[in-house]
Amino acid sequence: MTTTSTHTHPTPDSNTAHHLSLAETAIAHNYRPLPVVLASGEGAWVSDVEGRCYLDCLAGYSAINFGHGHPRLLAAAREQLERITLTSRAFHNDRLGPFCQDLADLAGMDAVLPMNTGAEAVETAIKVARKWGRERKGVAPDHATIIVADGNFHGRTTTIVSFSSDPVARDGFGPFTPGFRTVPFGDAAALENAVDESTVAVLLEPIQGEAGVLIPPPGYLQRVREICSRENVLFIADEIQSGLGRTGTTFACDIEDVTPDVYVLGKALGGGIVPVSAVVSRHDVLGVIGPGSHGSTFGGNPLAAAVGHAVVELLRSGDYQARAAKLGKQLHDRLESLIGHGAVAVRCSGLWAGIDIAPALMTGRQACEALLARSVLAKDTHGSTIRLAPPLTIGPDELDWMCEQLAAVLTGPGSAI
């Protein structure tokens, strides 16, 4: 795939128009996608039904960290497809144990509770924390509380949106689940003040992705770790987007040399092939879950375990983490040059960036539409902010080209709206 393709508006009889019509009439409108219909992908590139190519700079919200169609991941999936794909957890399968052992080792933990989607993993962590609080800490029945951060995004189940601060995610979905206290993200003093005898856990994204790649102040995660250790509270790190190489480290918590009590993982763990998520922790934490107290028919299925294990193997050498760190510096340098030239702020951690565009210039959605016309796929969030999260396999020249397209959108003719 090349960078020479151009985007044009679909004609009424085009394949794109056909699929957009189907989307309008046959698909529930819980998303507002850009008007592009993707049909294939390879590495950091995707192509649409008209044959036009685009640089994928969202990578499935980090689910495609290793690029589209990574040969080792596809090989693992194909091999397992020929053997067995689902057993249910009523029986053992020969792929789950090795996957869980090696994932636990990668995280420096003891055990894994496998699930499917990220939201399922967060729900699982919440249940584990509450049961741990009752059985290990002695919190009174039905009194456990969990501290969360303002601006969080942990999923869209009814329990999770109960502590969301996004009105779009919450409005109309009540009544909400109690048991959560919200404090400002990055404010360790506020978090410390919120802890009391009912607190069983602190649930945080080390870097808030959906909020615009918000990075907390230096030392924040270390303070959270200290507070949780002192107060006998579980530190649950939601690394669904930030983990598995995205930030230039295996986990974003590694940036401050912090180990939480619980990792919540997903997205990249499935290699962009199947949904795979996991709660990874110590035996004394996951040990509160017994037979019948939690489960999932598809959680830990052989196909998911085979792909997840291949992902863990890719991360063992540290090559992808090092690549994200090196290219992340290049990305940061290029994006910083746009401050004052259409961008008012940029935040980068590895190959992950949030760019705040001058609101008077254009919205984030308009910027992403303009990038689409330049064969770059990105995603907006919260008004005038866009996010960039290309696959870790992107090349340095492709990264420069991406930044050139963004600069053209922000500073070129017609940028003032």
Exactly one of 66, 99, 153, 163 is catalytic; which is it?
Answer: 153
d(Cα 149, Cα 315) in Å, to the nearest integer?
Answer: 29
Tell me 281's DSSP state.
E
d(Cα 264, Cα 241) in Å, to the nearest integer?
Answer: 10
d(Cα 245, Cα 300) in Å, to the nearest integer?
Answer: 22
Tell me 128's DSSP state.
H
Exactly one of 48, 56, 102, 238 is catalytic; which is it?
Answer: 238
Q: What are phi and psi of 73, to 5 degrees?
A: -75, -40
Indicate if the alpha-carbon torsion angle 155, 157, 160, 163 is positive or negative. Answer: positive
> Taking the mean position of all CA atoms in its chain, how far away is CA 50?
29
Verify whether residue 238 is a known catalytic residue. Answer: yes
Question: Per DSSP, what are the bridge partners of residue 203?
Answer: 148, 236
d(Cα 234, Cα 103) in Å, to the nearest integer?
Answer: 20
Verify whether residue 267 is a known catalytic residue. Answer: yes
d(Cα 312, Cα 269) in Å, to the nearest integer?
Answer: 8
d(Cα 299, Cα 308) in Å, to the nearest integer?
Answer: 12
Verify whether residue 180 is a known catalytic residue. Answer: no
d(Cα 385, Cα 373) in Å, to the nearest integer?
Answer: 18
d(Cα 229, Cα 202) in Å, to the nearest integer?
Answer: 11
Compute CA distances 346 → 198, 217, 311, whole Å.
Answer: 38, 15, 30
Tell me how crowded residue 413 is: count the other CB atoms within 10 A of its CB.
6
Compute CA distances 293 → 122, 286, 349, whole Å.
Answer: 16, 12, 38
Closest CA to 116 of 43, 59, 63, 42: 63
Exactly one of 99, 131, 163, 267 is catalytic; which is it?
Answer: 267
Strand order in the sheet with 379-381: 343-348, 353-357, 385-388, 379-381
Residues marked active site are found at 153, 238, 267
